[in-house]
Amino acid sequence: MIDICVPCKEKGKFRAPYKTIGGVPMCGGCVADHERKPKAPVAPKLEVQIASESAPPSAESAKEVKQMATPQEKIDAIRKDAAAGLSLNQIAEKQGVSWPTAKRYADGKAGKKPAGGDTSGTAKRGRKQRVDVSSNGHFAVNLTTEGLDAVWNALPAEKKAELLGNL
């Protein structure tokens, strides 16, 4: 007997099986659908769940949570050290924080990290952006009336007639 993909056979299609999953031959599409379906979450055993709910949090886990947030006392100490003239490396070492954290709070810019890109007018590689270039790459030219007269007088009569005809 010829093997046929069972889910496809139930839909009225006859495809050759690619893989057998759980004793059921399936084609590639059905295998992908089967693997894409979310698996049912396995609930932890009741004994472990009750034990984890009744046990108080350990001192180590509370200490880990405190290390994640910079407390206000430490921020004030960082600002005080910066006002005293300590370098960022010295502040970071003394207060036990990373250099970026010391820089953030020593500058007086408390709160979020700065977001977005560089708006200083320099390109990513440190080169200055050209101010006289338009968005399409052509140069912006500032002409005086003398310059326009010189260009007009240098044009042949045919080009002048063509330009005047297009107005």
pLDDT at 25: 87
State yes or no: pLDDT of 117 exceeds 60.
no
Residue 21 has phi, psi (to 5 degrees) of: -120, 120
pLDDT at 116: 55
Model pLDDT for residues 55-114, shown as the tens digit of each residue? 555 555 555 544 556 688 888 888 899 889 888 899 989 988 888 888 888 876 555 555
Q: Where are the alpha helices (DSSP H) in 69-156?
A: 72-83, 88-95, 99-106, 145-154
State yes or no: pLDDT of 123 exceeds 70.
no
Note the Cα 96 to chain centre separation in Å.
29
Do residues 78 and 91 lie in contact, with contact meaning Cβ atoms separated by under 8 Å? yes
Q: Where along the chain do its domains lie? A: 6-36, 71-106
- pLDDT average, residue stretch 37-56: 58
pTM: 0.29
Query: From residue 17, how far is each of 2, 10, 26, 27, 153 by CA, in Å?
Result: 10, 14, 5, 4, 82
Residue matched to tokens 């970026």: 100
pLDDT at 153: 92
pLDDT at 154: 92
pLDDT at 109: 57
CA distance 26 to 85: 72
- pLDDT average, residue stretch 50-55: 53
Torsion over CA of 152, 154, 160 and 164, rounded to 10 degrees?
-10
